[in-house]
Amino acid sequence: MDHHLECIGCRARYPSIETAYACKSCGDLLEVSYDYDDLRESVNASLWKSRPLSVWRYEELLPLDKGSVKVSLGEGGTTLHRAARVGKLLGLNDLYVKNEGENPTGSFKDRGMTLGVSKAVEIGAKKVACASTGNTSASLAAYAAKAGLESIVVIPHGKIALGKLAQAIAHGARVLQIEGNFDDALKAVLRLAQSNTSLYLLNSVNPYRIEGQKTLAYEIWDQLERKVPDTVIVPVGNAGNISAIWKGFQDLSQLGLISHLPRMIGVQAQGASPITEAFRRGQCRIRPVQNPETIATAIRIGSPASWKKALRAVKGSGGLMETVTDEEILDAQKFLARLEGIFVEPASGSSIAGLKKLVEAGAIGKDENVVCVTTGHGLKDPEIVQRMFEKPITVKADQRSLEIALGLNR
């Protein structure tokens, strides 16, 4: 599809085949951009309803050439749950949870990887690589397997949730654990990809990944019967996803399909919150956090690559950034699981925890239409539950012992 890459800083333009991950003249991030006059002609939104709800329902808005192979595992089409019981707990009448844990490898990363790995195949790459806090590596490994590409993942040693590491290994990725955190891993693999062009990098500095992830916004709009929510709340780590969702809503607006935009709210963990700090201080640059710390490993990032895009999303939408503590995250993870039957990993609990905090502070009104994005499945990180929640008790295998344990004895 006709598009080019554009620098978000100096607005330099590059042809669509360019595999650079940063602007050659100023070093800033690139984004995919389109001629919206052309798109308005070619997009027929009523046609979308005849296709299954999925990333590829919106293929006219995805930058892949017509004849190219789509490397797909059935991504997107996740449930938008009406969360009446959590709504009641928090005093909200119109709350929804978009559960991205339902994706093929259990996180929203699959939306980006289906497009990113398809792009890799289109340009003839044989090896794909990423740095990861876990879910990106699980997703990359699975899509690379499907496409028959070699995958290389660089992860922080000892800090990856067990389920995610198991996925990367199972799908046959070459897993390199580094001494250092995610920020160090990304820096290293970015340099590696810049000097070894046989490696196609699929972190969110690759603008094609963001394009896949923007379909989250299209689906929310479709699932609300083509209405725009008042507020969308997203956990923020490296900040690609909130930027992607905002881009998706902006596309709909550019195409004249919606007449207003939602407020974007990003939630970071207190020990890893450089974007929230910059937002609060009214600064236009972040100060990276040297040693980010939180139990929510998927957002344990001190130097988010897409901070500038995220600040633009939040400010441009009249939204805000919030932080939550590990305790608030675990509490939200638990009450979401127990009131709605939705089991998410800790990072995803942060959007729910942020919602609770903002309702209590009066920043979200009781009749607002709010969509919380839960980003990853709870089974990714079973150790957190074993460690932090109630422990099961052990009893003898007879009726009497069970009755005593359950308080059923009169």
Chain positions contacting ligand PLP, by CB under 6 A: 107, 109, 135, 204, 235-241, 298-299, 345, 347-348, 375-376
Determine the Cα–Cα distance for residues 186 and 119; give it in Å rounded to an integer: 20
Least distance in angstroms from the C-beta of 347 to ligand PLP: 4
Minimum distance, C-beta of residue 235 to ligand PLP, in the bound complex (Å): 4
Instruction: Name which of ligand PLP, Zn ion, none residue 54 binds, using a CB cut-off of 5 to 8 Å depending on partner kind.
Output: none
The structure tokens listed for 368 are 């607002």
Q: Strands 95-99 and 370-374: what pairing?
A: parallel
Would you say 12 or 84 has its CB closer to Zn ion? 12
- Looking at residues 4 to 33 of the shown chain, list those that interact with Zn ion (rule: CB under 5 A): 7, 9-10, 12, 23, 26, 28
- When CB distances to ligand PLP are compared, the closest residue is 376
The sign one gets for the Cα dihedral 47, 72, 212, 64 is negative
Shortest Å, Cβ 163 to Zn ion: 38
- Rounded Cα distance between 316 and 221, Å, is 19
Residue placing its CB nearer to ligand PLP in the complex, 122 or 214: 214
Rounded-to-integer distance, Cα 55 and Cα 21, Å: 23
Minimum CB distance to ligand PLP smaller for 94 or for 112: 112
The DSSP annotation for 251-320 comes to HHHHTTS-SS-PEEEEEEEGGG-HHHHHHHHT-SS----SS---S-GGG--SS-TTHHHHHHHHHHTT-E
Nearer to ligand PLP (CB atom), residue 1 or residue 215: 215
- Name the residue type at position 396: K
Name which of 26 and 408 has its Cβ closer to Zn ion: 26
Say how far residue 84 (Cα) sits from the centre of its chain.
24
Binding site partner of 23, from ligand PLP, Zn ion, none, Cβ cut-off 5-8 A by kind? Zn ion
Edge-to-edge strand order for the sheet containing 370-374?
Answer: 80-82, 95-99, 370-374, 231-235, 263-269, 320-324
Cβ nearer to Zn ion, comparing 31 with 331: 31
In angstroms, give the least distance from the CB of 256 to ligand PLP.
28
365: partner contacted, choices Zn ion, ligand PLP, none (Cβ within 5-8 A by kind): none
What whole-number distance in Å separates Cα of residue 326 and Cα of residue 315?
26
Q: What is the nearest approach in angstroms of ligand PLP to the Cβ of residue 371? A: 15
Shortest distance in whole angstroms from residue 13 CB to ligand PLP = 25
Q: Which amino acid is at 378?
A: G
Contacting residues toward Zn ion, per CB under 5 A: 7, 9-10, 12, 23, 26, 28
